[in-house]
Amino acid sequence: MSHLPRGPQGRLRTTYKFLARPVEFLFRCADTYGDVFNMPMYNGDVVVAGSPASVQDVMTAPPETFLPYTLKSVASLLGEHSLLMLSGERHRRERKLLTPPFHGDRMRAYAAIMADTAARRLAEAARAPRAIAQEVMQAISLDVILRAVFGVDEPHRMRAFARAVIAMGDAVTPALAFLPLLQRELGGLGPYARFRRRVEDLEALFREQIARARAAPGDDILSLMVSARYDDGSAMSDQAIFDELRTLLFAGHETTALALTWALDHVHRHPEVLARLRDEIDALGPEPDPERLAALPYLDAVCKETLRLYPLVTEVPRLVARPFRLGEHELQPGTGVAACILLVHHRPDLYPEPSRFKPERFLERRFSPFEHLPFGGGNRRCIGAAFAMFEMKIVLGTALSAWQLRLLDERPPRPVRRNVTLGPSGGVPIALRARERGALRAA
């Protein structure tokens, strides 16, 4: 296994390059060192697994092999009760309790909320001559979470929650998310102190909403969390519910919005993709049923290819808890290991012309969970993956059914790090106008 330069300077240099230009840095490392290589990061060594075989080693290892990675750096951001912070029996117990609301009939019940929210927010954006797709998609994604997950429906409370969520998200920088040494109050003046104040503002709103859900449960996911019971009959504490809701915001709000922004940009830079996708959507009629949208095969392929080309997180890290064999390498406890989604998704032996946007890949063959893994895998696969894909297809289908979209920047955006996610530089400026039925398609 090859190693990048070690020592304090080597660690700082590697960490900076990974934070500043992760895509270019990881591609360069794979070209130089191969499928498996060691990155000496500021927080410790991380062994990167960049092939399906090495990813399979990580994802199929017994759960007790690993602990969550960088507990110190993200625990204060997500809360100690967050599913991402738990391991062992506590993780299994919590995941079992939280899985049902995000699957099956319960998830499909939110289809109308997703479609209605998209239609309303897109109509608002069309009133201006110019909009930023990322901002529009974030507004849609946040509204969906507030209504379907948190059960907030009064306009004034939705506005208050939206302000608090956006303020908290804006307070998280890449450095704050990755470097625990920056997480100090500094007399209430530093960036971490500002983040803590914004968490407290959001927590106050959440505690009110939790109390409402306990008093009058609804059909939202928060109400299901409040009424859920562990095997011993006990309920989740308010603090545990808040930490899980905060995690859902981090993991589900901005990520879905960024995926939708990438999808809009890709589709409108490839007229042949747009034409085929519109034909499929238009076959459902002028007001397509949301669940029928979600079942369209080419729309599904477009969403999967979007998540392949620029996965929202480049890798999913673990911390080795007991000796673990990765291929021919024996990793010791305390070593980080990361299944690198980006590198697997750009392997030319799996995806010929990997930098090309080609949704047909996903109609021509089926990829294993170790070849296409935008939501991670194993026992820590994103719990909201099905919800996110469902929302992505409904929102994208609703947008393309009713609106003509024009890209206002001829240059394709490049991926830039926001906090732990990758988004398109510039946010994708667009102009919107309503489609005229029967009119010629326009890119």
48 confidence band (pLDDT: 50, 70, 90): very high
Mean pLDDT of 24-42: 91
Share of the chain above pLDDT 90, in %: 56
Choose the weakest-confidence range: 148-152, 226-230, 247-251, 403-407: 247-251
What are residue 416's DSSP bridge partners?
Answer: 423
Higher pLDDT, 53 or 149: 53
Name residue, tokens 């660690």: 11
**Range with top average pLDDT, 41-45, 72-76, 95-99:** 95-99
Quote the pLDDT of residue 355: 96
Higher pLDDT, 172 or 440: 172
Strands 329-331 and 324-326 come out as antiparallel
Mean pLDDT of 254-260: 93
* SS3 readout for 40-71: EECCEEEEEECCHHHHHHHHCCCHHHEEECCH
Burial 390-402 (b: 16+ CB within 10 A, else e): bbbbbbbbbbbbb
179 confidence band (pLDDT: 50, 70, 90): low
Quote the pLDDT of residue 272: 97
Nearest to 395 by CA among 117, 107, 103: 117
C-beta separation of 302 from 263 below 8 A: yes
Q: Does domain 2-434 have CATH number 1.10.630.10?
A: yes
DSSP H or E segment with residue 336: strand 336-340
Q: Which residues make Cβ contacts (< 8 Å) with residue 429, sequence separation at least 6? A: 130, 131, 132, 133, 407, 408, 409
Nearest to 377 by CA among 58, 95, 111, 124: 58
- pLDDT tens for 262-283 read 999 999 999 999 999 999 999 9
Tell me, yes or no, if the pTM score tops 0.75.
yes
- pLDDT tens for 283-303 read 999 999 999 999 999 999 999
Higher pLDDT, 170 or 127: 127
Quote the pLDDT of residue 279: 97
d(CA 108, CA 114): 10
d(CA 77, CA 202): 13
Quote the pLDDT of residue 183: 59
Query: 238-248 vs 88-98: helix axis angle to the nearest 10?
Result: 80
Quote the pLDDT of residue 440: 40
Tokens representing 52? 């399906």
pLDDT(185) > 80: no
d(CA 162, CA 145): 10
Higher pLDDT, 435 or 41: 435
pLDDT(103) > 50: yes
Average pLDDT score, the chain: 87
Quote the pLDDT of residue 442: 42
pLDDT(31) > 50: yes
Give the count of beta carbons closer than 10 Å to the beta carbon of residue 155.
Answer: 8
d(CA 362, CA 317): 26
Domain ranges of the chain: 2-434
Choose the weakest-confidence range: 45-54, 362-371, 415-424, 433-442: 433-442
313 three-state secondary structure: coil
Q: What are phi and psi of 397, to 5 degrees?
A: -65, -40
- 287: exposed, middle or buried (C-beta count within 10 Å: 0-12, 13-18, 19+)? exposed
| Residues 149, 155, 159: CA angle, nearest 5 degrees | 80
- 128: exposed, middle or buried (C-beta count within 10 Å: 0-12, 13-18, 19+)? exposed
d(CA 187, CA 189): 6
C-beta separation of 75 from 85 below 8 A: yes
Q: Which residues make Cβ contacts (< 8 Å) with residue 349, sequence separation at least 6? A: none
156 confidence band (pLDDT: 50, 70, 90): very high
Quote the pLDDT of residue 167: 81
pLDDT(196) > 80: no
